């Protein structure tokens, strides 16, 4: 008996996860305790980076990162229109101006050549940074992007919320794991329930820049610090100072404990995502009415999503719902939202992104998805197209 319904994504909570959370509930700290730092160190080790800062969610990670990296009034930051709204909104939170760039028609990620065209056609200082997004788990080649960013003195904030465990082989054939920050200034991750690692809500910022790391630590806690070297006076052990305008963007020990437990299964879960992806590739490859994901040889896809394209997207979406298969669409181009239209963007500005949106559909993809459930999805997709 196949377990229904089948969502596009979902979390998996094990007995080990529950035990880890219960242990914290019985401990002295529910928040601002030692488990947060333990999670940060474990995650930093996992991606191969020096520093990690745990925060309340992926949006908080984006917001704090843009604040810490810096945007002067009137400066622009480039990002893709095919992403969740937070990837663009964070620029405006920090006082910057969003500038979208169209996508690569094969990878669905930001078109690096078009990024350089934007940067080269504007005076130096017009742009502060770039936020590339590893859509669906497909890592952007940040080595290529870094070579461009250096020329125009802009920072790179990688949005790898879809891509923990993913990466690419650089020009020296060295594997660059998403989040190791060898070619970017900082990277952000999300621990929303449908992501690779689930903590309910939660996020992480990684960086190799100590100064940036220390600034992020202060920004996430109201701009308050107890560091003696940053204080002009000390009244006693209780004393602290607010030295910048910060936010309450902290993660709790409860969430950190769940994150540590989930992180232990990260590689096994990534392997399972590949098994599911291979089933889709092998069993859907002969259906001419759909386009399967493209993967370059030097890419290790994290497969947060498995996105197909079809001219009958709406019809297939509705049909699968009648079979209790709940696919999703990622994403509606941000520049077509009412809010961004009021800022001057309009349909037609990014034709490749809009053409992608008209046909994209995310099939169910999560580690606890069984082979029988995957086959059920595939069978119904085949049945839908059998009459064409």
pLDDT at 388 over 80: no
100-141 pLDDT, tens digit each:
999 999 999 999 999 999 999 999 999 999 999 999 999 999
Distance between CA 344 and CA 170 in Å, rounded?
38
Q: Hey, what are 65's tokens?
A: 């990162």
**Is 72 exposed, middle or buried, given 0-12, 13-18 or 19+ CB atoms closer than 10 A?**
exposed
Structure tokens at 27: 């401990």
Q: What is the pLDDT at residue 1? A: 87
**203-207 vs 51-55, strand pairing mode:** antiparallel
Would you say the CATH fold of 266-385 matches that of 15-263? Answer: no
pLDDT in tens, 227-265: 999 999 999 999 999 999 999 999 999 999 999 999 999
The predicted model gives 194-219 an average pLDDT of: 98
Question: Cα–Cα distance between 321 and 314 in angstroms, integer?
Answer: 11
Confidence class of residue 368 from pLDDT cuts 50, 70 and 90? very high
Q: With a cut of 90, say whether residue 161 has pLDDT above it.
A: yes
Q: Could you tell me which CATH number the domain at 15-263 has?
A: 3.40.640.10
Task: In whole angstroms, give the CA distance from residue 376 to residue 336.
Answer: 34
Tell me the average pLDDT across 21-46.
97
Residue by residue, DSSP assigns 273-334 as HHHHHHHHHHHHTT-TTEEPPP--TTEE---S-EEEEETTHHHHHHHHHHTTEE-B-----G
pLDDT at 342: 97
CA pair distance 32, 29, nearest whole angstrom: 7
**152 has pLDDT over 80:** yes
Nearest CA among 26, 352, 374, 62 for reference residue 192: 62
Tell me what the mean pLDDT of segment 36-41 comes to. 98
- Nearest CA-CA partner of 157 in 145, 165, 147: 145
CA gap 367, 270 in Å, rounded: 8
Cα dihedral sign, 315-321-326-331: positive
Q: Where are the domains of the chain?
A: 15-263, 266-385
Please check the confidence at residue 157 and state whether its pLDDT lies above 90. Answer: yes
Nearest one of 167, 107, 108, 114 to 143, comparing CA atoms = 167
Q: Which CATH number fits domain 266-385: 3.90.1150.10, 2.60.15.10, 3.40.190.10, 3.40.630.40?
A: 3.90.1150.10
- Does this model's pTM top 0.95? yes
At residue 387, the pLDDT reads 79
Q: What is the pLDDT of residues 266-294, one digit of tens each?
A: 999 999 999 999 999 999 999 999 999 99
Per-residue pLDDT reduced to its tens digit, 67-101: 999 999 999 999 999 999 999 999 999 999 999 99
- Report pLDDT digits (tens) over 346-364: 999 999 999 999 999 999 9
The pLDDT, as a whole number, for residue 255 is: 98
Condensed to tens digits (0 to 9), the pLDDT of residues 315-327 reads: 999 999 999 999 9
């Amino acid at each position: 008996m196949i377990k229904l319904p089948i969502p596009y994504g979902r979390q998996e909570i094990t007995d080990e996860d529950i035990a880890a959370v219960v242990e914290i509930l019985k401990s002295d700290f529910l928040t601002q305790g030692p488990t947060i730092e333990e999670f940060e160190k474990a995650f930093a080790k996992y991606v191969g980076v020096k520093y990690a800062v745990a925060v309340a969610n992926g949006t908080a990670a984006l917001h704090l990162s843009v604040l810490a990296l810096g945007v002067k009034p009137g400066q622009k930051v480039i990002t893709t229109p095919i992403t969740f709204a937070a990837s663009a909104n964070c620029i405006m939170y920090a006082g910057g101006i969003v500038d979208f760039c169209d996508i690569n028609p094969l990878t669905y990620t930001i078109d690096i050549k078009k990024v350089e065209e934007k940067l080269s056609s504007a005076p130096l200082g017009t742009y502060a940074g770039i936020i590339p997004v590893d859509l669906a788990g497909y890592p952007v080649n940040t080595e290529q992007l870094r070579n461009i960013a250096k020329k125009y003195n802009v920072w790179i904030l990688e949005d790898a919320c879809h891509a923990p465990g993913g990466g690419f082989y650089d020009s020296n054939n060295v594997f660059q794991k998403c989040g190791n920050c060898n070619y970017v200034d900082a990277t952000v991750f999300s621990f929303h329930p449908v992501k690779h690692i689930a903590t309910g809500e939660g996020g992480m910022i990684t960086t190799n820049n100590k100064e940036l790391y220390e600034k992020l630590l202060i920004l996430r806690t109201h701009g308050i610090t107890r560091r003696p070297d940053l204080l002009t006076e000390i009244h006693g052990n209780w004393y602290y100072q607010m030295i910048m305008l910060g936010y309450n963007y902290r993660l709790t020990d409860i969430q950190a404990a769940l994150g540590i437990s989930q992180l232990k299964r990260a590689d096994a879960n990534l392997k399972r995502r590949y098994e599911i992806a291979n089933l889709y590739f092998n069993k859907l490859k002969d259906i001419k009415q759909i386009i399967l994901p493209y993967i370059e040889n030097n890419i290790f896809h994290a497969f947060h999503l498995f996105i197909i394209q079809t001219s009958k997207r709406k019809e297939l979406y509705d049909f699968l719902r009648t079979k209790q298969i709940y696919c999703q669409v990622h994403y509606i181009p941000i520049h077509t939202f009412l809010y961004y239209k009021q800022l001057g963007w309009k349909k037609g500005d990014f034709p490749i992104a809009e053409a992608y949106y008209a046909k994209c559909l995310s099939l169910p993809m999560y580690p606890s998805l069984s082979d029988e459930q995957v086959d059920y999805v595939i069978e119904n997709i085949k049945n839908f197209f059998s009459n064409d």
